Chain A
Amino acid sequence: MKFGVVVFPGSNCDDDMIHVLGTVMGQEVVKLWHKEESLPGFASGDCIVLPGGFSYGDYMRAGAIARFSPIMNAVIEFANQGGFVWGICNGFQILCEAGLLPGALLRNQHQKFICKNVFLKTQTNNSPITAELSLDQALKIPIAHAEGRFHADEATLQSLQDNDQILFKYCHADGTIDAAANPNGSARDIAGICNAKRNVFGMMPHPERAAEATLGNQDGKGLFTSLLNTVAAEMIG
């Protein structure tokens, strides 16, 4: 399985993602410049990652300009052909702006940027990045965003729920889900979702920041392992 990490002007979690995929997980990973117009060498079992950061400074609306970068047409086509696309934080915002995922990410309810560890409850095993995660355990994974309040109309939220597209909800350390555990006021406490075809994932928390013992937290590593094992199993199957 091969990974490509897109570098938009202003991306700043690109190196972190490459470090985890390459050095920690031992996978083949390349940087992709946003001005590229195609994704040569990537096949449907591969994964394109849109990393966190502040693409184009996010002075307008997070991700609103990056979706027009030349590479996004290729990413959309790649996703439509079944390739895996994973957007984290700013990458999630870009995926929503590009229409690859439903909904939008609004300014946090308390209006401030917030960076801290939060807890996530996995909602389904029916996606490559959550297939091997426990549905009972609360994962400690950090967030760092000012615009992370997931929003969609009621019908969209219901269809996300009905189609099992909600991957993660914010919770307390003991796993209970309530408004007090939700750091940004997102609808239905949503922290991450996937598309209907289950090959495009978006999440606000940063699993790449919680994948090494040296940093004292490996709760995020399970998402990477899950993706790799699921895809490997499909290849064999």
Chain B
Amino acid sequence: MNFEDLQKAWQSHDTGAKVTINADVLLKEVRRNQQHFWLGIFWRDVREVGVAAFMTWLFLHWAVRDREWSMYLLSLACFGVGTFMLADRWFQRRKRPVRSDSVRSCVEASLIEVNHQIWLLRNVFWWYLLPIQIGLGALICSVVWQARHARLTVIMGLMGYTLFCGLICWGIYKLNQFTVRKSLEPRRQQLEGLLTSLK
């Protein structure tokens, strides 16, 4: 048997008979899926950017009410983090892979997307944890400075609080690095492999 015979056998193979599709249910599902996708993005934005916006407002409100300079700093940190998330999302949205592009373009775009996600998570300390920690540190310093009469008690309390915040940050950082190792790195390797085979 030569390749042409093989091709003939392949092309005469009737696949349609083995697939039954309920088109109405499928259409219902694709619409639901699309709605689910956009709702997912909307609520993720609300969650991440909304929390940052709320915290900005809250600290700003306290800063104005109590005339506390460190609260301004904390508010600014929250605003910076929220703005960064929003700007990043906006820029990345334009680079999203398009499934109807050629396979090579789509793989390249997917790789850029994954690389960016890895960069974000690897640098979560710089753009998320550090600004918030600087704001919190300033607040702690300010509180200690103001509590001259019971400084030791306040210092002990704040040390505990700092330790708690540090542990939370360490946990967030580790969780992000785990996600990179477990999920994003294998994805990147897979995409790099595909791209290599297309070059």
Q: Do A and B actually bind? A: no
